[in-house]
Amino acid sequence: MEPMNANEFLGRETIGKLMIKFAVPCVISLLVAALYNIVDQIFIANADYLGSYGNAANTVVFPLTVVALAISVMIGDGCCAFVSLSLGAGENENAHRCVGNAIVLSIMSSFMLTAVYLAFQDQIITAFGGTLNKETFVLSKEYFFWITVGMPFFMFGQAMNPIIRSDGSPRYAMFSTLAGAILNIILDPIFIFSCKWGMTGAAVATVIGQIATALFAIGYLFKMKAVKLRKSSFRLRLALMRKFIPLGICSLLSQISLVASMAAVNNMIYKFGALDIVFGKPEYAQIPMAVVGIVMKFFQIVISIVIGIAAGCIPIVGYNIGAGLKDRAKGIFSRLLLTETCIGFAALFVVEFLPRQLIVVFGAGNESVYYTEFGIRSFRIYLCMIVFACINKSTFIYLQSLGNALISTLLSMIREVVFGVSFPLILPMFFGLDGVLYSMPVSDALTFLFSLIVIAYTFKKTLSKNDIADQIIK
């Protein structure tokens, strides 16, 4: 018989214990996922035959992996939120059908994206600044091909991760991602330094790790606890998809709009770097793109922690809202905001006082002094408002867990599309290459003003309603 109360502890356990149980594994899972690309870049940067050219190529390809991640988290997070709400309301039938539909959608979308990438690889690489110079283009194409080949495994593993958490197994979700990342870390130096496979070696190591994660996810699907899959679970239901996909739209937009922002940033670096006294010289042309890519990777580490804590709370919040326990949902929001603020200040300390140490990790010893100087300036300017970025992101995700997909999506659109694309295009016209760096803090500070309004509204209005779950599930 199907267990009706497998997740009942989500409505009884203390909030602090639940946040630790669910958020810590989620943070580790996302950090590990982020480390796939970051570890590649560290090893690439320290390989003297790749250096800043390889780093620039990695920066070019990185946004394209984010597109795949965006589609995956839309499916996975949307399913996670809907399943949690359904289990909290006792709607187990909706839960197993949602998981089955999510599995089918993740597989279909991964093969479609892979086909598009392979068919238009030259055009895509060009659009993200890959034509900076001949060396960067060749290395970008090499890395891009193998990463694309592994895309179905990557997308499936990432989509299943939040679904596994919604089933009450955050540790297994963490373990599956961790196993793949450890494999990648072991293989990277072997392929890059020992075998001298270059960008191909970095990409193949990543793909092998992603395959391992996908296999662990498949294994879990046969032993789910709160949700039991049947053959009927895998029949696509349009009405059901209309309910759970909107709950993941915020996750999609927060990632996909980041790609639009990266495209704007990369192209402005390409344009205004060529006008710079130093970086206009051919031997230094790739440095700004390589360095900004490194800064973005550090930001990704911080924001992975932030998203991990907030996303880890999705099953907890969803269950309690579904069960009508609104006071517990308020308590989670308060602790979430405090935690994310502390993380933001810790990151701010690192980028303002230890930027030199950060840039050294990414191969500064093999590069010119211009590489180090631009790296220090980039860390200090680009991430000076990182505290606001942390609060903004956690607010977006919390609203998503409440089922407020529209507000969450609008906030994300304002930050990533309206501000994230327009400021990188506008500010360089007045401040040159530094204008690209100013675009990030300006966007985060302005978005924070909107977040404050939404936070106040959420406490006053949304969490006082008892019919949130009914509006979504029914």
Of 206, 201, 358, which Cα lies nearest the Cα of 293? Answer: 358
In the chain, % of residues over pLDDT 70 = 89
Spatial distance between the Cα atoms of 302 and 137, rounded to a whole number of angstroms: 29
In angstroms, the Cα distances linking 100 to 88, 163, 301 are 19, 10, 31
Give the residue numbers spanning the domain of 128.
16-468
Inter-residue contact 170 to 226 (CB < 8 Å): no
Residue 405 has pLDDT above 70, yes or no: no
How does residue 25 score in pLDDT terms, banded at 50, 70 and 90?
Answer: confident
How does residue 301 score in pLDDT terms, banded at 50, 70 and 90?
Answer: confident
Identify whether 7 is part of a domain: no
Q: What is the total count of domains within the chain? A: 1
Token pair 């680009």 is at which residue?
382
| DSSP 8-state secondary structure symbol assigned to residue 367 | S
When pLDDT is averaged across residues 293-317 and rounded to a whole number, the result is 83
Identify whether 137 is part of a domain: yes
Residue 250 has pLDDT above 70, yes or no: no
Residue 470 has pLDDT above 80, yes or no: no
When pLDDT is averaged across residues 173-177 and rounded to a whole number, the result is 85
Q: How many helices (H) and strands (E) does the chain have?
A: 21, 0
Least confident of 143-157, 242-256, 258-272, 285-299: 242-256
pLDDT digits (tens, 9 = 90+) for 97-137: 888 899 999 999 999 999 999 999 999 998 888 887 788 89
Identify whether 3 is part of a domain: no
Residues 393, 74, 172, CA angle at the centre, nearest 5°? 85
Identify whether 5 is part of a domain: no
Inter-residue contact 343 to 306 (CB < 8 Å): yes
Identify whether 126 is part of a domain: yes
DSSP for 432-457?
THHHHHHHHHHHHHHHHHHHHHHHHH
In the chain, % of residues over pLDDT 90 = 33
Inter-residue contact 455 to 337 (CB < 8 Å): yes
Residue 170 has pLDDT above 50, yes or no: yes
Residue 35 is encoded by which pair of tokens? Answer: 């480390």
When pLDDT is averaged across residues 81-98 and rounded to a whole number, the result is 80
Residue 246 is encoded by which pair of tokens? Answer: 């909107």
Residue 6 has pLDDT above 60, yes or no: no
How does residue 175 score in pLDDT terms, banded at 50, 70 and 90?
Answer: confident
Q: At what angle do helices 51-88 and 92-119 cross, to 10 degrees?
A: 160
* Residue 104 burial (C-beta neighbours within 10 Å; 0-12, 13-18, 19+): middle
In angstroms, the Cα distances linking 125 to 114, 245, 424, 460 are 14, 29, 19, 47
pLDDT digits (tens, 9 = 90+) for 320-361: 776 677 777 777 888 888 999 999 999 999 999 999 998 888
When pLDDT is averaged across residues 449-455 and rounded to a whole number, the result is 86
Amino acid identity for residue 339 in this structure:
T
Identify whether 374 is part of a domain: yes
pLDDT value of position 37: 67
Phi-psi category of residue 227: left, alpha or beta, with phi > 0 → left and psi -120 to 50 → alpha = beta
Residue 471 has pLDDT above 60, yes or no: no
Identify whether 473 is part of a domain: no
Identify whether 8 is part of a domain: no
| DSSP 8-state secondary structure symbol assigned to residue 219 | H
